[in-house]
């Protein structure tokens, strides 16, 4: 659980850095071309993702999202799923 929380926070931090880089690109003098998730997947995997499967509509929608949004949602869901939970004590006998 600790590793999941740490990875979630690191992904959220990476998403903030990616969003600020996207904002710098948008404010620059050149034509605005945002960083999409398909570009990041291509850089990591070494080839373009294949979207010819049955769930291609969902895959295309996820790959067309801005990269900071996809990484941020992944980090947020990971940090929520691995959060500390208080133990519920049931059937405690008190006098």
User: What are 22-31's pLDDT values in tens digits?
Assistant: 888 888 888 8
pTM of the model: 0.76
CA nearest to 84, candidates 7, 9, 12, 2: 2
Number of domains forming the structure of the chain: 1
Domain span including residue 52: 2-80
Determine the pLDDT at residue 92.
67
91 belongs to a structural domain:
no
Q: With a cut of 50, list the residues of the chain below it in pLDDT.
A: none
Asked whether residue 87 is domain-assigned, the answer is: no
Instruction: Decide if 89 is inside a domain.
Output: no
64 occurs within a structural domain: yes
Is residue 62 situated within a structural domain? yes
For residue 47, tell me if it sits in a domain. Answer: yes
Q: Please report the pLDDT score of residue 54 as a whole number.
A: 64
> What's the pLDDT score for residue 59?
82
Residue 75 lies in a domain: yes
């Amino acid at each position: 659980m600790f590793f999941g929380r740490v990875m979630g926070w690191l992904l959220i931090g990476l998403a903030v850095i990616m969003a600020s880089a996207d904002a710098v690109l948008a404010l620059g003098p050149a034509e605005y071309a945002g960083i999409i998730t398909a570009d990041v997947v291509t850089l990591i995997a070494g080839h373009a993702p294949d979207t010819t499967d049955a769930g291609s509509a969902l895959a295309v929608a996820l790959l067309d999202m801005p990269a900071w949004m996809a990484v941020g949602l992944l980090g947020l869901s990971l940090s929520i799923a691995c959060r500390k939970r208080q133990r519920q004590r049931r059937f405690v006998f008190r006098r």
